[in-house]
Structure formats: structure tokens, C-alpha cells
Amino acid sequence: MPSSFIMKIMKHVLIIDETPLFREYLKLKLQENDIETAIGINSVDGISKMKNLIPDLIIMDANLSRQGYMEVLKQKKTSPNTANIPVILMAQRIDQKRLIEIIPYNVKKVFSKPVKIDALFITLSELLGVPFIVDETPGIVEVHVNDNIILIEIAQGLNRDKMDLLRFKILELIKLYEIRVPKIIIMLSDINLGFADGPNLEKLLDTVIKYSRAKLRHIRVLTMDNFTRQFIQGRSNYSDIEVVSNLQFAMDGLLTDYDHAASSEEQKAEIIGAKILSADNAGVDEGLHLKFDADSDRIAIDTMKESLGNLRIASIDDDFVIQELIKNTFSGTGAVVQTYSSGESFLTVLDKEEFDLVFLDLLMPNGSGFDVLKVLQTRDIKYPVIVLSSITQRETIIKTYQMGSKSFLVKPISPEDILKKSIEILKTNY
């Protein structure tokens, strides 16, 4: 048959995920490769779409409310039309027993969150027979919110695929925390840039500016790289962005809406070391943390609770009131909360128990929070840790990040604070 008459067979992928912005990102990347994409907003919708469309591949989040991902797999197996559809599953944590259970359902790959982008697209290429162009530049992007400041950490290099993901993360966090006046700190860790990196640095800055809608005077770039400083200072469209070399100075300046022109104050703060600006970042998890919940402009707390079922949570605090607060916050969600009154008592169960999330006090008798973080770091146990403390010194907060914690909440805290921070940390795709 002449080549002009050969029709290209379009592939169809069904994405079943309750996180709307992530779905849109993945849909965009698939459509760029001429792959037709359908969306299932929950397990019930996913089952319906699966039976009607008969896709070539299903990409599914394991953390689905209502009927759950196992019901989708069981329904898929009941029909000869869908039984052989391959599945990619993304899970916060999945034990060996569950892995064995899903083998008969043609689950081809299970990705632990945060999912590595390059690995995901390699698997998509293998299953769909469609080549994906992936930026193989080393790079880590992590985004968190503290004191209503969005902290964006870029380590090792400027990877364009991960910068594409960054806009989705920024939009999600602004919605989740209802941030009306965005303030941004971009931390460039372990990065030395040159002239060839100019376009990627411009892409990074333009992405942050466009999707955060932050005023330039509310953006700090934290770096010791001379090229980055000269690049930003030498362009009029970035002239109001301040380049600093100290995290405490950057945060204090944004929190007080400090006049950034008086740069002499920077010399008074200690220069940040270790994780933020040192070259020793080999142990940092790869991934951009994307967490989404509702399509509405305001994310309802009740909607958040639906996504927290079947989680195992540890609360390590010598304050009984805090333990009860955390237990009551997650009551009715299906999550199981285990409480420990000291770091020592928690460490004794590390070989027996597994957790999806850990709330950790810092000052406790018989094993402090720092002792716990040190053991987790030494044993390479990467539980998401949210530190709860009445200590507010910036040096202490920075130290907890250096030791592997994911976020920090200052006591006193409310159930809404706990839920929002849990959503930020747990609803992790990349």
C-alpha cells in the first residue's frame, strides 16, 4: 500500500486521578505526542470511561476515594474487552502483599511517589510504542510553603520538563493556602550556571512570575552563583528581583516587606550552608511535589479529608493535647494514627511499622525530634516528616530541613493547619 494511504493509529490513554492540575499536566504531555487522553475524576468515573472507551493504557493513582483503585482493577478484569489493558499505578506506599494481589490485573508498573519523570515517560514509551522526548539534564525541584512564602528549591541543574511541572505546583499551592499576595524564594542549590544556561534560567524566572503573579519585589533568588546574579541584575525585566546569598535574610525581608534596596543588612545574617547552598545534595529525593484536591476556587476541608483514607500516621509528641488534636483531626477519614510520647518509643517500632506521614515534636525527653531525624536519615528511611514545634528561630527551621523534614508548623496549630499541610505533603505525584 502506498505510504500516503497508511493511516496513523492513535493511541488512547485513560488517566484516573483526583488531582485536577496533575491530570492537566499529564494530558498536555500526552497530547503533545499525539496521544488521545481521557480523564476519570474518581474511581466510579474511571470505570465508566474505561468500559466506554477501551483505552490502550490506564494511568491510575492508588489514593482514590469512594470505591478505590482495587475496584477499578476488578471491574477491568470482568470484561474481555478491558481485561488486558495495561495499567500504571502510582502509590504513596504499597506493601509486598498488595503487590502480589495486583499481579493478575495486568499492572505493568508501580511507581512510588514522588514519581521520577524520566522513568515514567520511558515506561510510557515501552507500553505505547511512542517515543517521548525527555530532558535528561540532572535536576531536582522541590516546592513548599512556610509562613505563606512559597519556597522553590532547584538543585543540580535546570531541567526544562521539571520547570514545566513547576507552574502546576505554584498554582496548586496558591489555591490550597489561599495566598492573596504571593511571595517567592527561589533557592538555587548546588548549581553553577554559564552562558548556555541563560534560556533555561529565563524560562524558570518567567514561569515563576507568570503563574505566581507575584510582584517582582516579592521574589528573592537565593544563590552563590555569579552568573545567575549578573543575569538577573543585567536585565531590566528582572531588575526588581533581589538576588541574595542568605535564606534567613530573604525570609525576614519578605515577612516584613523589607525594602530590598538596603542590601547592607544582608551582611548581618549568617551565610546558609549544608543543604540549601552546598554541593552535598546527593541524598535529596528527586521529584517535584504536586498535590491537588478540588476543581473549585476554594478547596473544601471536607474534600481534603476524603483523600486521606487508609493512611498510617505517626504522632511523636510528649504533649497529650497535641496527640489528641492530631487523632481528632484525622478521625472519620479512615487514616490510622499511632501516638508516641518520645522519640525513643517511636524508634523502637521502626523495624515493625511503616508510616505514610510523621508529625514530630522537637523538644521531648528520652529522644528529641532531632534524634529521630538523625536515625531516619542514617537508615535512609524517607517518611514524610512534618515538624511541630513552638521554636520559631530560623536556624532551627533550617536545621530540620537539612535533616530531611518536609515541612514545619509552629505551635499552636489548628486542625485546618494540620490538614492543609498533610495535603501538601501527601498528595504527591512528582
pLDDT given at position 267: 38
Task: Provide the b/e sequence for 121-153 (b: ≥16 CB within 10 Å).
Answer: bebbeebbebebebbeeebbbbbbbbeebbbbb
Given the candidates 3.40.50.12500, 1.20.200.10, 3.30.750.24, 2.40.50.1070, the CATH classification of the domain at 140-268 is 3.30.750.24
Q: What are the structural domain ranges in the chain? A: 10-128, 140-268, 301-426
What are 293-334's pLDDT values in tens digits?
333 333 444 555 566 667 889 999 999 999 999 999 888 787
pLDDT at site 133: 83
In contact, 385 and 404? CB cutoff 8 Å: yes
Edge-to-edge strand ranges of the sheet holding 242-244: 140-146, 149-155, 183-189, 219-222, 242-244
What is the 3-class SS of 21-53, one letter each residue? Answer: HHHHHHHHHHHCCCCEEEEECCHHHHHHHHHHH
**Which fold would CATH assign to domain 301-426?**
Rossmann fold (3.40.50)
Cell of 106: 495486568
Query: One fold for both 140-268 and 301-426?
Result: no
DSSP element (H, E) containing 327: helix 320-329
Q: Under DSSP, is residue 92 helix (H, G, I), strand (E, B) or coil? A: coil
Half-sphere exposure of 382 (CA within 13 A, CB side): 11
pLDDT in tens, the chain (430 residues): 454 444 557 899 999 988 777 788 889 889 988 999 999 998 999 999 999 999 999 999 987 866 789 999 999 999 999 999 999 998 876 777 788 889 899 999 998 877 777 788 889 999 999 988 888 888 888 888 877 889 898 888 998 888 888 888 898 888 888 899 999 999 997 789 999 999 999 999 999 999 999 999 999 999 989 999 999 999 999 989 999 987 767 777 776 654 444 444 443 333 333 333 333 333 333 333 333 333 333 344 455 556 666 788 999 999 999 999 999 988 878 789 999 999 999 999 998 998 989 999 998 988 899 999 999 999 988 888 999 887 766 677 778 877 888 788 888 888 888 888 888 877 654 4
Q: How many Cα atoms are found within 13 Å in the side-chain-facing hemisphere of 243?
A: 17
* Cβ–Cβ < 8 Å for 177, 145: yes
CATH fit for domain 10-128, picks 3.40.50.2300, 3.40.920.10, 3.40.640.10, 2.40.50.100: 3.40.50.2300
What would the 3-class secondary structure string for 181-202 be? CCEEEEEEECCCCCHHHHHHHH
Residue 227: Cβ within 10 Å count: 16
Q: What is the pLDDT of residue 290?
A: 32
Rg (CA), the chain: 23
H or E element at residue 203: helix 198-212
The secondary structure of 253-319 as a DSSP string is: HHHTT--TT-GGGGGGSPPP-TTTTSS--TTSPP--------SSSS--HHHHHHTTTT-EEEEE-S-
